[in-house]
C-alpha cells in the first residue's frame, strides 16, 4: 500500500470514528426529538470538510485548487433542478399508478391545499410562486451545511478513490461509506422512522450510493465539486421533504422505497455513463493537488 492510499484510508477511518462518537452523543441527548438536534446535526455535516482540511494540511497540500474550481457553470443549475425533477417525476408516477394518493390538488375547485395542516387553499399560481421562493431561500441556506459535507466527500475523497480504485469501484466505495457514516443517526430514527435497522443498513447506503453516482456525474463533468453542494442542498431542502409531505399518502415502506430506488437507478446509470465515457474527454478529475 502506497503512502497516498494509506493517508486516504486513515482520513476515512478517522472521520468515521469521530462522526460515530458525535452521532452517539446526539442520540444520548434525545436524538431527533432532542432540543439541540438541528444544531448538532448541522455541525456533524462539517466533519467531512474538517477531516478534508486536516488531510490536506497533513499531506502538504492546499484546498485552494478545490475551492476555486467553478468549472462549467451550467452544471450548477442542473444540480439544483435534477433532484427536484426526479422527485416530481416519482411522485407524479406514484400518484398516477395508485401507489401513492394525494390531497394536495382539489380537482373540484382547481385549488391547492397547503400542506401545513390547516386546510387553507390557494391558487396553483400562488402555490408555485411559494414553491419557487421557498426553494431559492431553502437551497441558499442549506448550501452552507452541505458545503461542509461535499468539500470532504466530493472535494477531497471522491477523486482520490477514483484515482486508486477506478471510477466504478471508487464511487461504489464512497457511496456505501457515505451511507454507513449516517448509520447511528439513521438508527436513531432520522429519515426512516419506524425502520431503524433496515433504514441504517439498507435504505441509507443504497440512497447514498445512488446520489454519489449522480453527484459524481455532475461534478466530474463540471470540473468542480460545487454542483454537489447545490444538488445536496436541493435534496435536503426541497426534494426530500417534498416526498415526505403528508398530502402525499403512502405506507411508510412504500414511501421510503419511492425515496431511495429512483436515486439508486439514476446513480447506477450515472456511474455506467462515466465508465463508458472514461478517457474520451467528456470528464476528467477536476483541478486538485497530487491525488
- Judged against a pLDDT cut of 60, whether residue 136 lies above it is answered with yes
Does 281 fall in a domain?
Answer: no
- Judged against a pLDDT cut of 70, whether residue 288 lies above it is answered with no
Does 100 fall in a domain?
Answer: yes
- Judged against a pLDDT cut of 80, whether residue 1 lies above it is answered with no
Mean pLDDT of the chain, nearest integer: 93
Does 284 fall in a domain?
Answer: no
- Judged against a pLDDT cut of 70, whether residue 177 lies above it is answered with yes
> Residue 235 and residue 142: Cα distance in Å, rounded?
10
7-11, 17-21, 84-88, 129-133 — which is least confidently predicted?
A: 129-133
End-to-end CA distance of the chain: 14
Interval 196-255: pLDDT, tens = 999 999 999 999 999 999 999 999 999 999 999 999 999 999 988 889 988 899 999 999
Which residue range(s) make up the domain with 159? 3-276
Distance of CA 110 to the CA centre of its chain: 34
* Residue 194 banded pLDDT, cuts 50, 70, 90: very high
Section 108-113 average pLDDT: 85
- Residue 274: the pLDDT is 97
* Residue 131 banded pLDDT, cuts 50, 70, 90: confident
Interval 41-63: pLDDT, tens = 999 999 999 999 999 999 999 99
Does 131 fall in a domain?
Answer: yes
285 and 227 Cβ atoms separated by less than 8 Å: no
Does 283 fall in a domain?
Answer: no
Q: What is the dihedral of CA 166, 169, 175, 181, to 10 degrees?
A: -100
- Residue 287: the pLDDT is 59
User: Which residues pair with residue 122 across a beta bridge?
Assistant: 112
Does 286 fall in a domain?
Answer: no
Distances (CA, A) of 37 to 87, 149, 182, 197, 262: 26, 17, 14, 20, 28
Section 166-192 average pLDDT: 97
Q: What is the dihedral of CA 234, 240, 242, 246, to 10 degrees?
A: -160
Does 115 fall in a domain?
Answer: yes
* Residue 154 banded pLDDT, cuts 50, 70, 90: very high
> Residue 190 and residue 30: Cα distance in Å, rounded?
12
- Judged against a pLDDT cut of 60, whether residue 185 lies above it is answered with yes
- Judged against a pLDDT cut of 80, whether residue 118 lies above it is answered with no
Does 21 fall in a domain?
Answer: yes
Could you give the number of structural domains in the chain?
A: 1
Amino acid at each position: 500500500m502506497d503512502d497516498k492510499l494509506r493517508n486516504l484510508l486513515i482520513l476515512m477511518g478517522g472521520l468515521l470514528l469521530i462522526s460515530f462518537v458525535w452521532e452517539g452523543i446526539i442520540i444520548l441527548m434525545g436524538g431527533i426529538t432532542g432540543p439541540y438536534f438541528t444544531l448538532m446535526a448541522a455541525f456533524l455535516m462539517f466533519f467531512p470538510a474538517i477531516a478534508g482540511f486536516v488531510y490536506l494540511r497533513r499531506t502538504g497540500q492546499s484546498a485552494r485548487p478545490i475551492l476555486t474550481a467553478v468549472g462549467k457553470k451550467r452544471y450548477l443549475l442542473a444540480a439544483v433542478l435534477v433532484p427536484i425533477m426526479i422527485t416530481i417525476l416519482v411522485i407524479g408516477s406514484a400518484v398516477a399508478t395508485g401507489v401513492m394518493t394525494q390531497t394536495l390538488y382539489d380537482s373540484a375547485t382547481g385549488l391547492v391545499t397547503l400542506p401545513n395542516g390547516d386546510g387553507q387553499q390557494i391558487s396553483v399560481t400562488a402555490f408555485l410562486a411559494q414553491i419557487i421562493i421557498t426553494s431559492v431561500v431553502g437551497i441558499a441556506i442549506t448550501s452552507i451545511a452541505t458545503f461542509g459535507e461535499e468539500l470532504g466527500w466530493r472535494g477531497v475523497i471522491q477523486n482520490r478513490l477514483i484515482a486508486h480504485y477506478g471510477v466504478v469501484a471508487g464511487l461504489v466505495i464512497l457511496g456505501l461509506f457515505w451511507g454507513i457514516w449516517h448509520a447511528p443517526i439513521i438508527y436513531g430514527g432520522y429519515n426512516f422512522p419506524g425502520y431503524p435497522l433496515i433504514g441504517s443498513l439498507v435504505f441509507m447506503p443504497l440512497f447514498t450510493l445512488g446520489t454519489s453516482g449522480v453527484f459524481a456525474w455532475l461534478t466530474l463533468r463540471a470540473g468542480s465539486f460545487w454542483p454537489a453542494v447545490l444538488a445536496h442542498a436541493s435534496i435536503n431542502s426541497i426534494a426530500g421533504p417534498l416526498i415526505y409531505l403528508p398530502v402525499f399518502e403512502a405506507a411508510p415502506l412504500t414511501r421510503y422505497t419511492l425515496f431511495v430506488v429512483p436515486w439508486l437507478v439514476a446513480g447506477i446509470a450515472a456511474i455506467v455513463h462515466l465508465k463508458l465515457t472514461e478517457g474520451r474527454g467528456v470528464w476528467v478529475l477536476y483541478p486538485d493537488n497530487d491525488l
